[in-house]
């Protein structure tokens, strides 16, 4: 009979070349010499198993985890086996379908402290987050999300921002695992109406995360404000919402204005609720997501003794329900009955949206003076520009400020417009509800090549591997190629930096630039 040492030596000799045969030998040690089977034998066993993906050795891995529950080496490589077996190349649906097999095993794995040492990835953390992603996709299951977050200690999660390379957009940042943890946790707690816990989790996130991603600089304070509202702390909740809608990041988010409208409605301040609801409806893009807002607006008008005007919102709700073939809720049916609306006779969403937006614009600006002027600058990205009024004052505007949407602003250069003055920003005065009155055909004011040799101020719009895209103050966008930049230009410059750029060349593809300071 072979000794334990002889079996081990044979297995070690062929472990890499013949993992299936080596595994049989390690299993023999496990069966015949259990008392001397050690952590290194277990490690090599799982290494062989990982080299044999076509075969299922899951039960054996579980046995080894139970035999060495505190050994970081065994639990670590077993975590990678779980990843290979149930996660690698699998869809969210497949992950959830296999959940019953690996869920109990997760309790046997261990989480690495990535805040102390992030040199090597933690398989356990990756597995848990991939399961969370599967739960978060589609219908957000708050209970399951929280149950899986319990597997993780946030104080061991990395706070390092993750990056990946995009073909056209260059280096893109992703939220760190630590930020992602609190993003999922606060969303789940709010959904489950655990408002005190949600408030505390939001506070922790806001106090301990240095840089936010995926609009978390808005989501965390917004969830805190909503929690405070439900906890009866109305004044602080209102203050947070106001700060958000006045910020650069939150000023364009329709849902913030909706939440403020709901807050004021609950406080019986219907005039303020009405104004914020108008802003929300005008900022929103997809009608089907705004259906509850439209219902709120009909209720507000009723409280303001303007019930008859609420018919425009009732008709919009009917159009959304008809076009999406949704079931009519009892609340909606009540307003249909009041206004005598037949669902099958509802107009298309597009047709009804025009009527609704015209009503909202009239409401928002009824006490303000309309200004006339012309569009004088369109930025190279086609998304924003400047216009001047007849008195010569300049106003910044973006695509979302147009009454009638367009894909690109470029054809509107020199168009005559009417607009209202909006809330100012770092760019100065701004324009809202810009209505094109007359298009003006123009020839290029400067011959090709006339810009070469000139220097303009500009802002860095994007940073990619091959250089910097810069929006110039003359409304054009150019590229400062990597050959004209320091090798470490990505470490020197950031998106939004103001620079001076010298125009080297002007071609059909655009401007070639060189930064002068």
DSSP letters for 124-172 = HHHHHHHHHHHHHSSS--HHHHHHHHTT--GGGS--PPEEEEETTTEEE
φ, ψ dihedrals at 305, nearest 5°: 60, 35
423 contact partners, CB below 8 Å, separation of at least 6 = 246, 251, 430
pLDDT of 445 reads: 44
pTM recorded for the entire structure? 0.65
Same domain, 38 and 149: yes
**Separation in Å, CA 131 to CA 173, 249, 359:** 22, 30, 46
In whole angstroms, what separates CA 457 from the centre of its chain? 31
Q: SS in 3 state form for 230-268?
A: HCCCHHHHHHHHHHHHCCCCCCCCHHHHHHHHHHHHHCC
CATH code: domain of residue 462: 2.40.50.140
Same domain, 104 and 138: yes
The DSSP output letter for 409 is S
pLDDT of 446 reads: 46
Cβ atoms within 10 Å of 510's Cβ, excluding its own = 14
pLDDT values of the chain reduced to their tens digit, one per residue, 517 residues: 688 999 999 999 999 999 999 999 999 999 999 999 999 999 999 999 999 887 888 889 999 999 998 898 999 999 999 999 999 999 988 998 988 888 888 888 999 999 988 888 999 999 999 999 988 876 678 899 999 999 999 999 999 887 777 666 677 788 999 999 999 999 999 989 999 999 999 999 999 999 898 889 999 999 999 999 889 998 999 899 888 888 877 878 898 888 888 888 888 999 989 999 999 999 888 899 999 999 999 999 999 999 999 999 999 999 999 999 999 999 999 999 999 999 999 999 999 998 998 899 899 998 889 999 999 888 877 788 899 998 888 999 988 788 887 877 888 888 999 999 887 666 678 898 898 999 886 544 445 555 777 788 888 888 888 888 888 877 778 888 888 888 888 888 888 888 888 888 887 667 888 888 7
Q: Is residue 25 situated within a structural domain?
A: yes
Rounded distance between C-alpha atoms, residue 172 and residue 151, angstroms: 28
Q: Left, alpha or beta for 388 (phi > 0: left; psi -120 to 50: alpha)?
A: beta
Q: Is residue 177 situated within a structural domain?
A: no
pLDDT of 22 reads: 93
SS3 content of the chain, % helix, strand, coil (to 5): 50, 15, 30
**CA dihedral angle for residue 284, residue 287, residue 288, residue 290, rounded to 10 degrees:** 50
Q: Is residue 148 situated within a structural domain?
A: yes
pLDDT of 415 reads: 92
Q: Is residue 447 situated within a structural domain?
A: no
Residue 122: which H helix or E strand, with range?
Answer: none
What would the DSSP string read from start to end of 179-232? HHHHHHHHHHHHHTT-HHHHHHHHHHHHHH-SS--TTHHHHHHHHHHHHHHHTT
Same domain, 131 and 20: yes
Last residue of a domain, one of 156, 188, 203: 156
Q: Which domain holds residue 396?
A: 371-438
433 burial level (CB within 10 Å; 0-12, 13-18, 19+): buried
The answer to whether the beta carbons of residues 149 and 143 sit under 8 Å apart is: no
Same domain, 304 and 324: yes
Nearest to 75 by CA among 115, 32, 110, 116: 110
Q: Is residue 239 situated within a structural domain?
A: no
Rounded distance between C-alpha atoms, residue 9 and residue 125, angstroms: 34
Same domain, 278 and 321: yes
Residue 360: which H helix or E strand, with range?
Answer: helix 349-365
Same domain, 280 and 409: no
Q: Is residue 403 situated within a structural domain?
A: yes
Long-range pairs of 437-440 with CB within 8 A, sequence gap ≥ 24: 437/372, 439/411, 439/412, 439/415, 440/374, 440/414, 440/415, 440/416
pLDDT of 80 reads: 92
Last residue of a domain, one of 126, 156, 186: 156
Rounded distance between C-alpha atoms, residue 376 and residue 388, angstroms: 7
User: How many domains, in total, are found in the chain?
Assistant: 4
Rounded distance between C-alpha atoms, residue 86 and residue 61, angstroms: 13
Q: Is residue 496 situated within a structural domain?
A: yes
Q: Strand runs (DSSP E) across 367-497, as ranges?
A: 371-378, 384-389, 394-398, 416-421, 431-438, 455-464, 467-472, 477-481
pLDDT of 168 reads: 63
pLDDT of 509 reads: 67
**Which residues make beta-bridge pairs with 499?**
458
Q: Left, alpha or beta for 285 (phi > 0: left; psi -120 to 50: alpha)?
A: alpha
Q: Is residue 170 situated within a structural domain?
A: no
Rounded distance between C-alpha atoms, residue 157 and residue 417, angstroms: 53
Same domain, 296 and 376: no
Q: What crossing angle do the helices spanning 270-283 and 291-303 adopt, rounded to 10°?
A: 150
């Amino acid at each position: 009979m072979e000794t334990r040492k002889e079996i081990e030596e044979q297995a070690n000799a062929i472990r890499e070349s013949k993992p299936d045969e080596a595994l049989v030998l390690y299993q023999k040690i496990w069966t015949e010499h259990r008392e001397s089977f050690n952590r290194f034998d277990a490690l090599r066993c799982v290494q062989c198993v990982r080299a044999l993906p076509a075969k299922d050795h899951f039960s054996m891995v579980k046995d080894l985890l139970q035999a060495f529950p505190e050994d970081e080496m065994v639990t670590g490589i077993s975590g990678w086996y779980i990843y290979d077996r149930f996660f690698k190349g699998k869809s969210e649906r497949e992950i959830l379908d296999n959940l019953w097999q690996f869920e109990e095993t997760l309790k046997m794995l261990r989480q690495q402290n990535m805040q102390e040492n992030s040199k090597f990835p933690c398989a356990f953390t990756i597995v848990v987050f991939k399961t969370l992603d599967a739960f978060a996709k589609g219908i957000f299951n708050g209970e399951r999300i929280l149950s899986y977050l319990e597997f993780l200690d946030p104080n061991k999660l990395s706070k390092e921002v993750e990056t990946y390379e995009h073909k056209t957009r260059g280096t893109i940042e992703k939220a760190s695992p630590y930020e992602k943890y609190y993003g999922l946790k606060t969303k789940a707690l709010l959904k489950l109406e655990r408002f005190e816990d949600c408030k505390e989790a939001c506070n922790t996130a806001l106090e301990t995360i240095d840089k936010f991603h995926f609009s978390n600089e808005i989501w965390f304070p917004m969830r805190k404000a909503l929690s405070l509202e439900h906890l009866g702390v109305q004044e602080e909740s209102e203050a947070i919402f106001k700060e958000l809608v006045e910020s650069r990041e939150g000023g364009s988010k329709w849902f913030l204005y909706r939440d403020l409208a709901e807050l004021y409605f609950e406080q019986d301040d219907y005039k303020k609720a009405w104004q914020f609801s108008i802003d929300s409806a005008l900022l929103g893009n997809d009608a089907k997501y705004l259906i509850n807002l439209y219902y709120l607006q009909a209720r507000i008008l009723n409280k303001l003794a303007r019930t008859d005007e609420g018919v425009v919102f009732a008709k919009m709700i009917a159009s959304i329900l008809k076009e999406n073939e949704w079931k009519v809720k009892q609340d909606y049916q009540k307003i249909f009955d009041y206004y005598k609306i037949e669902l099958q006779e509802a107009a298309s969403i597009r047709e009804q949206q025009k009527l609704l937006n015209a009503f909202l614009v009239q409401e928002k600006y009824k006490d303000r003076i309309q200004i006339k002027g012309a569009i004088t600058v369109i930025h190279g990205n086609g998304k924003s520009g400047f216009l001047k009024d007849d008195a010569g004052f300049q106003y910044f505007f973006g695509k979302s400020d147009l009454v009638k949407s367009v894909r690109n602003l470029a054809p509107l250069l020199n168009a005559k417009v009417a607009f209202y003055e909006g809330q100012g920003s770092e760019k100065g005065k701004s324009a809202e509800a810009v209505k094109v009155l007359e298009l003006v055909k123009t020839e290029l004011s400067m011959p090709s090549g006339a810009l070469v040799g000139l220097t303009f101020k500009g802002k860095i719009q994007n940073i990619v591997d091959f250089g910097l895209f810069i929006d110039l103050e003359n409304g054009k966008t150019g590229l400062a190629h990597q050959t004209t930049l320091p090798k470490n230009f990505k470490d020197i410059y950031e998106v939004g930096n103001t620079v001076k750029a010298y125009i080297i060349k002007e071609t059909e593809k655009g401007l070639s630039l060189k930064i002068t300071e």
